[in-house]
Amino acid sequence: MRYLFTGTLNTRDLGGHPTASGVYTKYGRLIRGDAATQLTCADLDMLYDMGITTAIDLRHPDFEAARRPSSFASDDRFRYHNRHLDDRMRDVVKAESDIAPAYFDMARRGDTVRDVMKIIAAAEGGVVFHCSAGKDRTGVTAAMLLDLAGVPMVDIVADYQVTETYIRSRMERILEEFPDMPRFFGQSKPEYIEGFFELLWAEYGTTEDFLLARGVESDELERIRAKLLG
């Protein structure tokens, strides 16, 4: 389900996905989004009334968050965390075949994935996490969370893939301004996120094993599952 908040195109709930156990992920527990920099008081009130009390900003603290602050940073009702997930997409991606490896390197680089999972596990209420477009950094994070909850890969791919549709108008404006930018920077094809999981599974076995190796505790993973499924 997509939320029509002010200034965002790609803010969506991770609720409503089927899982292998036959239950559906719960609404209002985890929300993914693009840059939440223009939210109105009404938008913030709606999120708070839904039970969202924690916000995680995956953007760079200087080049992105400082220049266009997250609306959550100035609202004391929300616990705001800026944890930069360093994707380096424009530096390392020269062809479409580079995207999946770039996603995998991003997930392994530094401690951000570990920190994000720990914040989600510790949050008393619901959590919103966002980057700029809500496609790469947010998309990989959302995909791992859904896989951890037991959502089938076809639905994880569908959740990732729809981003391209929602941000198309914004990407068209960007491509007009920067005509040399490859069009695939605005795309979210199934093979991008499928390739990410293939690399992760080949090295770690499962998403849970990967997160454990990054330093997330097993009880924290259970709390994340409970947040999505309980």
Model confidence at 180, pLDDT cuts 50, 70, 90, reads confident
> Is pLDDT at 6 greater than 90 in this prediction?
yes
CA-to-CA distance for 178 and 74, rounded, in angstroms? 32
pLDDT band for position 90 (cuts 50, 70, 90): confident
Task: Give mean pLDDT, residues 161-180.
Answer: 90
d(CA 92, CA 194) in angstroms, rounded, equals: 19
Q: Per-residue pLDDT for 146 more than 90? A: yes
* The domain defined by 2-229 carries CATH number 3.90.190.10: yes
User: What angle do helix axes 207-214 and 190-204 make, rounded to 10 degrees?
Assistant: 70
Q: Where exactly are the structural domains of the chain?
A: 2-229
Q: Which residues of 134-153 are buried (b: 16+ CB within 10 A; e: fewer)?
A: bbbbbbbbbbbbbbbbbbee
Confidence band, pLDDT 50/70/90 cuts, at residue 230? confident
pLDDT for position 26: 98
Of the ranges 14-18, 39-43, 163-167, 181-185, which one carries the lowest mean pLDDT score?
A: 181-185
User: For residues 216, 222, 223 and 226, what is the CA-based torsion angle, rounded to 10 degrees?
Assistant: 150
| Percent of the chain surpassing pLDDT 90 | 90
34-55 per-position pLDDT tens digit = 999 999 999 999 999 999 999 9
